Structure 1
Amino acid sequence: MTDRPTPLVLVGGVHRDHTARAATDLLTAAPGTVVVHHDVADLEQGVVVRTVRTQMAGNVTEEQTAVELAHGCLSCTLRLDLLPLLVELAACSGVDRIVLQLDPALEPEQLCWSIGSVLLAEGGTAKDAVQVEAVVTVLDAATWLADVTGEQTMADRGLAATADDERTLAQVALGQVAIADVVLLAGPPIEDWTAARLHAVLERWAPTARTGSIEHWHPARVLAGLGLHARRGRVGHPHDAVLAGQPPLEADAGIELVRFSARRPFHPQRLHEAFDVLLDGVVGSRGRLWLATQHDRAVWLESAGGGLQVGDAGPWLDTLGDDAELWAQASPERHVAAALRWDPLYGDRDTEIVVLTHRQSREALTTAFCQALLTDEELTLGVEGWDFDDPFGDSHDDPCEASSPADDPHAHTTEENQ
């Protein structure tokens, strides 16, 4: 293993051909580059085809291997093959950069989490050997906006990882953009209105990403020009600022980013009904919620197109007492944000949601959420009186049984589809 981690670039997208082209551009851009691709089309049969392409002094070699996996799941693919392979390649002399050409079933953020969190058999994590230099997402400019506002599942498009993969295409495609440092537009030219709406969405959902055409990008120049605000694989946290990167808040081409905040909890049943407003005319939403019936723990929300998820976002700082070790686990940014809004009675509890809308009105969104908050009368009942029916269950799937493609950093989820 080298003293310095080897740079790692992840290239993803829901169109295999576009992703392959961007990965090849990186391969040919500099000697000492290795491109790794896992084809998971036959995953349910317990076989993954791994392709490794290496460029040394202008010569490209290719090696294919059929990797047998007894469990037939993507988590096992990562743990048993991909992550150890990254460590092995990083230790090879002459390897200056590793590129992961991701199958559409693999989500970049979950893979970045796995690199830093999944323990390897020999100890440590892959992050000891590699460091994410950039996440590149390639999208089809003509179809992407329809994909992220639709209701198709990955299975509908023939992209599901397994038979029980229930993810929507919108969830995957929007997540690929959210973590991107570079967004490359591919496919045929599009008309001006479609282009305006596409760029308005990208500027608001991934404000720090560099966006350009795959026809004209120069990998070395683009990677060297990434700014200080590039995520470089940093996994999002439920208590991050929901408007990180300072996205524009004004409407453009019918696209608008709506922020909702509140300092009182939601009534769970009314919130459940209010979620209907997020399932039509909305590109995506994300945020943390204060739910009256789950007073000690924050709830995470994210939606994409016609799909929505809520999950456990961990304890509020107010519940940590004098446990210095737990306090130290929270980021400095979270400490500052909590201090600015601290309430003598409720501590740092609050709600903050951002919604990227393309047809739903700002008024409809804010009205739905306001009506779901506890009334003054309900608020005066206090925590002991907030014993309402709660439709939000709490469930956990082990990695090998989950419908998501890899170990999920937010393990407890409840899903709804329109």
Structure 2
Amino acid sequence: MPDPLVIVCGVDRDAVLATGEAVATANPRTVLVAHDLRRLGEGVVTRAVHREGRWTTTALELAHGCVSCTLREDLLPLLLELADDDGVGRVVLLLDPGMEPEPVCEALAHVVPDGGNGPVTEALDLVGVVAVLDGERWLDDAGSDDALADRGLALTEDDDRTVAQIVVGHAEFADVLVVVGGPEPWERVRRDAVLARLAPQARRLDAAGVDAIPDVTPVLAELHPDTRCGVPDDPHGPLLRGQPPLTRDVGVSLLHVGLRRPFHPQRLHEAFDVLLTGTVRVRGRVWVASRPEHALWIESAGGGLQIGMAGRWLADSLAWDDVDEVRRASASLRWDERWGDREQQLVVLLHDAEPADVVAALDLALLTDDELALGEDAWRAFPDPFGLSHTDPCDELEGPAVPVENRGEQA
């Protein structure tokens, strides 16, 4: 049976390290692996391995200063080497604060390094992802538009992600939340209400401080059967994972929006001002009139927004045979005679905004009856800020346009 692999993430290096050391102290034959990416832009990464009570550090020079090179050239081969070592009983991977667990898990499951016979997850059993949260400031960070660079957490000079994107992504993807410290009682209640809706299946451990973080392995052994354990969500799968509370509590609410007509691209863009104010998370797939064959994936955290492609709608017959049976069955259940599977599906987690304001902004972004009657050929000519060339931030600035993939400030 493969040895267990645990991933620990968080923006506090000391807290992440303390979590790993607690596992190593309670479980002999545990190896801790960490990569310090603070000099990534210079093409230098420091690898640290803790084994049998001592740390060994190695400075690595990469041909290209990027996270993917670190994974492919060093981390993945190292994990496969540890998997073959009879003296190793458990591996704990401590992520750099600027790293997100989801792409790491994708690499562990799908990338075969040079000389390997398969991906890491065939050699090690990924039993869970642990997110270490700063209990006192997590909610403020989750709703902010502060840049990673302002906290010294950006991996490269062009890393324009926000702190909210990191801390929300950590919590949402985790199977276990270790919450270190806490704010005043009222803010604690609000924070807990947000976490209950953001990560409803995650187990929770509270620690008074970094020096009081417990061993997480007993909790990892008792996770919910449907816990993700490192498996990313399908962009065309259910958006309400784990049956989160849908009632409003201490001003925190989870809004599910399902609509059956396309958005006008320019008006949807303008609606982002509302979607990015007073919200922790917006995620889902949208149907934009100017590109009727393609589903767009929208994901925000605080004031940061990412927009990407989520493949083709199955209403485009060319895509029907390219997806699995689960998606075909799901689309068939919701099929509309006119629009097929095309629809708006968004989930909005609000902590300081009114659901009615969000619904009103999205309703105004939909095509009117007159616009709808123009037909798809006319829709394609609508001004589209989601095209391949778009100036970001959204001001009339001089200079070349750039693709919209990640935006570190409000639209």
TM-score of the superposed pair, with normalisation by structure 1:
0.90
Q: Report the equivalent of 1:353.
A: 346
Q: Could you say what the CA RMSD is over the residues aligned between the two structures, in angstroms?
A: 1.9
Query: Does the CA-based 8 Å contact 1:393-1:414 persist in structure 2?
Result: no
1:184 aligns with 2:181: no
Output the amino acid matched with 1:78.
Answer: L
Q: Report the equivalent of 1:107.
A: 100
Q: Kindly state the Cα deviation for residue 134 of structure 1 after the two structures are TM-superposed.
A: 0.4
Q: Separation in 2 of the partners of 1:15 and 1:253?
A: 28
Output the amino acid matched with 1:342.
Answer: W
Q: Separation in 2 of the partners of 1:336 and 1:31?
A: 47
For the residue of structure 2 that corresponds to 1:197, the secondary structure is helix
* Superimposed CA distance per residue, residues 137-187 of structure 1 (whole angstroms, 9 cap, x where no aligned partner): 001110111111111111100111111111100001100011100001113
Q: Tell me which of 39, 44, 57 is aligned to 2:41.
A: 44
Q: Separation in 2 of the partners of 1:390 and 1:190?
A: 43
Query: Does the CA-based 8 Å contact 1:153-1:169 persist in structure 2?
Result: yes
Query: Does the CA-based 8 Å contact 2:320-2:328 persist in structure 1?
Result: no
1:372 aligns with 2:365: yes
Q: Tell me which of 22, 44, 67 is aligned to 1:74.
A: 67
Query: Does the CA-based 8 Å contact 1:312-1:413 persist in structure 2?
Result: no
Q: Report the equivalent of 2:128.
A: 134
1:413 aligns with 2:405: yes
1:165 aligns with 2:159: yes
Pick closer, same or farther for the CA change 1:109–1:290 going to 2, 3 Å: same
Q: Report the equivalent of 1:404.
A: none
Output the amino acid matched with 1:268.
Answer: P
Q: Kindly state the Cα deviation for residue 413 of structure 1 after the two structures are TM-superposed.
A: 2.4
Q: Report the equivalent of 1:204.
A: 197
Q: Kindly state the Cα deviation for residue 193 of structure 1 after the two structures are TM-superposed.
A: 0.5
Query: Does the CA-based 8 Å contact 1:137-1:182 persist in structure 2?
Result: yes
Q: Report the equivalent of 2:400.
A: none
Q: Separation in 2 of the partners of 1:33 and 1:416?
A: 38
Pick closer, same or farther for the CA change 1:276–1:322 going to 2, 3 Å: closer
Output the amino acid matched with 1:286.
Answer: R
Q: Separation in 2 of the partners of 1:139 and 1:184?
A: 6
Q: Report the equivalent of 2:21.
A: 24
* Superimposed CA distance per residue, residues 225-250 of structure 1 (whole angstroms, 9 cap, x where no aligned partner): 11112110001221121111111011
For the residue of structure 1 that corresponds to 2:297, the secondary structure is strand
Moved more, 140-149 or 208-217: 208-217
Moved more, 39-48 or 171-180: 39-48
Q: Report the equivalent of 1:407.
A: none
1:54 aligns with 2:51: yes
Output the amino acid matched with 2:151.
Answer: R
Q: Report the equivalent of 1:298.
A: 295
Q: Kindly state the Cα deviation for residue 278 of structure 1 after the two structures are TM-superposed.
A: 1.5
Query: Does the CA-based 8 Å contact 2:137-2:183 persist in structure 1?
Result: no
* Superimposed CA distance per residue, residues 277-312 of structure 1 (whole angstroms, 9 cap, x where no aligned partner): 012111111010011111111000011111111110
Listed as ranges, the matches of 1:383-398 within 5 Å are: 383-386=376-379, 387-394=381-388
For the residue of structure 2 that corresponds to 1:98, the secondary structure is strand
Q: Separation in 2 of the partners of 1:354 and 1:91?
A: 43
Query: Does the CA-based 8 Å contact 1:338-1:348 persist in structure 2?
Result: yes
Q: Tell me which of 139, 142, 156 is aligned to 1:145.
A: 139
Question: Unaligned regions of 5+ residues in structure 1, if any?
Answer: 396-410
TM-score of the superposed pair, with normalisation by structure 2:
0.91
Query: Does the CA-based 8 Å contact 1:32-1:97 persist in structure 2?
Result: yes
Q: Separation in 2 of the partners of 1:218 and 1:47?
A: 32
Output the amino acid matched with 1:413.
Answer: E
Output the amino acid matched with 1:86.
Answer: L
